[in-house]
């Protein structure tokens, strides 16, 4: 079944065509430059830009998949979580296409999309199926979640951030180091060149035997460290601060993953997804912890599949459909900006 999937949850206008877990096309039109001058995503600006771009992005997704609308069997769209005005644009577009072309439309949870992103493959490549129950670490600019996946659709959040998300912490620390916005990736690149043990930064919630996360204390500790180092940091100091932050930010994730694996010994595999999983050092540290527990680990196949994209929404819709989720009732489908995986009840909002 060929699905045209849409994600406009934040600042990327994305449309993809998927067939099962195969990605036939995955077009992402980023608005990063337009928001950068405001130092963060402006929801109404995001919505306006999505509106201006969505039709063209959809046409390009079809073209790259070698299809026209007549080759599409169904639609999928993110209905939450995300920025309300931004979500609205994708939903309105999906509804109008669904009506005009008489196509079934599946409403997809964006975080379920990140989870499904690890199954996405290029056409012809084998799909590595999940063995349940799984433990998933979902880490992005908006979320830091540990999720037990009993089976597809049976999600239980066992840990989440109490303040900033880890990707947000990368971006905020990058900003205070003068690396611009969004600077998470730039910061990660600099961290490779520094000494991660030069400065002693505290691992958040180190002694807490629970699986929540907190990044605001670490961000403040970096701010105080930078202020103490003087008005201008030397290049080496900058690299060492970046490396120290990254070591501790990741240590926090690893400690909680370790705790969760001890608490859920029935776990059959680890999934790590979301923008922060584009980070190679995080991947290798997670690989190590999975190996220590004798578990397979699933990552998205590319960094394009880590950050927001519509292909993951198409793959999630395919999984949703396999477990019996019906297409949305268009008259009831609405955005749910604070949608949670815990409430992934397929009928409550639709």
Within residues 291-350, the interface with ligand KG4 by CB under 6 A covers: 307-308
Tell me: does residue 11 bind Zn ion (CB under 5 A). no
Minimum CB distance to Zn ion smaller for 109 or for 140? 140
Tell me: does residue 308 bind Zn ion (CB under 5 A). yes
Among 93, 130, 155, 170, binds ligand KG4 (CB under 6 A): 170
Stretch that binds ligand KG4, among 152-160, 165-173, 311-319, 325-333 (CB under 6 A): 165-173
Could you tell me the smallest distance in angstroms from the CB atom of residue 60 to ligand KG4?
20
Among 53, 185, 335, 349, binds ligand KG4 (CB under 6 A): 185
Q: Site size for Zn ion, by CB under 5 A? A: 2
Tell me: does residue 167 bind ligand KG4 (CB under 6 A). yes
Considering CB distances under 5 to 8 angstroms, the limit depending on partner class, which of ligand KG4, Zn ion, none binds residue 278?
ligand KG4
- HEC string of the chain equals CEEEEEECCCCEEEEEEEECCEEEEEEEEECHHHHHCCCCCCHHHHHHHHHHHHHHHHHHHHHHHCCCHHHCCEEEEEEECCCHHHHHHHHHHHHHHHHHHCCCEEEEEHHHHHHHHHHCECCCCCCCCCCCCEEEEEECCCCEEEEEEEECCEEEEEEEECCCCHHHHHHHHHHHCCCCCCCHHHHHHHHCCCCCCCCCCCCCCCCCCCCCECCHHHHHHHHHHHHHCCCCCCHHHHHHHHHHHHHHHHHHHHHHHHHHHHHCCCCCEEEEECHHHHCHHHHHHHHHHHHHCCCCEECCCCHHHHCCCCHHHHHHHHHHHHCCCCCCCCCCCCCCCCCCHHHCCCCCCC
Among 89, 146, 188, 271, binds ligand KG4 (CB under 6 A): 188
Stretch that binds Zn ion, among 139-147, 231-239, 250-258, 297-305 (CB under 5 A): 139-147
Considering CB distances under 5 to 8 angstroms, the limit depending on partner class, which of Zn ion, ligand KG4, none binds residue 82?
none
Annotate each residue in 117-156 with x if it binds ligand KG4 (CB under 6 A) or - if it does not, as one string: -----------------------xxx--------------
Separation between Cα atoms, residue 24 and residue 295, nearest integer Å:
30
Considering CB distances under 5 to 8 angstroms, the limit depending on partner class, which of ligand KG4, Zn ion, none binds residue 279?
ligand KG4
Minimum CB distance to Zn ion smaller for 41 or for 57? 41
Among 88, 140, 250, 309, binds Zn ion (CB under 5 A): 140
Considering CB distances under 5 to 8 angstroms, the limit depending on partner class, which of Zn ion, ligand KG4, none binds residue 170?
ligand KG4
Minimum CB distance to ligand KG4 smaller for 74 or for 182? 182
Closest CA to 246 of 332, 138, 167, 350: 167
Could you tell me the smallest distance in angstroms from the CB atom of residue 245 to ligand KG4?
11
Minimum CB distance to ligand KG4 smaller for 130 or for 170? 170
Per DSSP bridges, beta strands 105-109 and 134-139 are unpaired
24 burial level (CB within 10 Å; 0-12, 13-18, 19+)? buried
Annotate each residue in 223-262 with x if it binds ligand KG4 (CB under 6 A) or - if it does not, as one string: ----------------------------------------
Listing from the earlier edge strand, what are the strands of the sheet with 269-273? 154-160, 144-151, 134-139, 269-273, 297-298
Query: What is the Cβ-side half-sphere exposure of residue 129, based on CA atoms within 13 angstroms?
Result: 5
Question: Which residues are near Zn ion by CB under 5 A?
Answer: 140, 308
Question: Which residues are near ligand KG4 by CB under 6 A?
Answer: 10, 140-142, 167-168, 170-171, 182, 184-185, 188, 274-276, 278-279, 307-308
């Amino acid at each position: 079944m060929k699905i045209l999937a849409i994600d406009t949850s934040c600042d990327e206008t994305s449309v993809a065509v998927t067939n099962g877990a195969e990605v036939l096309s995955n077009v992402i039109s980023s608005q990063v430059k337009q928001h950068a001058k405001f130092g963060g995503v402006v929801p109404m600006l995001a919505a306006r830009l999505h509106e201006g771009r969505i039709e063209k992005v959809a046409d390009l997704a079809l073209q790259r998949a070698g299809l026209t609308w007549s080759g599409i069997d169904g639609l999928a769209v993110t209905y939450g979580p995300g920025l309300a005005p931004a979500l609205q644009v994708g939903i309105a577009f999906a509804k109008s296409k669904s009506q005009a072309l008489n196509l079934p439309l599946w409403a997809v949870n964006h975080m379920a999309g990140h989870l499904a992103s690890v199954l996405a493959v290029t056409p012809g490549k084998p799909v590595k199926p999940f063995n349940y129950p799984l433990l998933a670490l979902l880490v992005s600019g908006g979320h830091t979640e540990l999720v037990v996946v009993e089976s597809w659709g049976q999600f239980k959040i066992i840990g989440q951030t109490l303040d900033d998300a880890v990707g947000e912490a990368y971006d905020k620390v990058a900003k205070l180091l003068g690396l611009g916005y969004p600077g998470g990736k730039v910061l990660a690149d600099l961290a490779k060149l520094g000494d991660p043990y030069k400065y002693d930064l505290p691992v958040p919630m180190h002694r807490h035997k629970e699986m929540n996360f907190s990044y605001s204390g670490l961000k403040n500790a970096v701010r105080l460290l930078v202020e103490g180092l003087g008005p201008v940091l030397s290049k080496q100091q900058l690299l060492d601060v970046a490396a120290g932050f990254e070591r501790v930010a990741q240590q926090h994730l690893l400690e909680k993953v370790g705790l969760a694996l001890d608490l859920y010994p029935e776990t059959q595999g680890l999934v790590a997804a979301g923008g922060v999983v584009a980070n190679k050092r995080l991947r290798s540290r997670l690989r190590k912890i999975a190996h220590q527990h004798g578990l397979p680990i699933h990552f998205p196949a590319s960094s394009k599949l880590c950050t927001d994209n519509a292909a993951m929404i198409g793959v999630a819709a395919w999984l949703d459909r396999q477990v019996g989720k019906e297409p949305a009732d268009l008259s009831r489908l609405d955005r749910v900006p604070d949608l949670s995986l815990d409430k992934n009840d397929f009928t409550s909002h639709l």
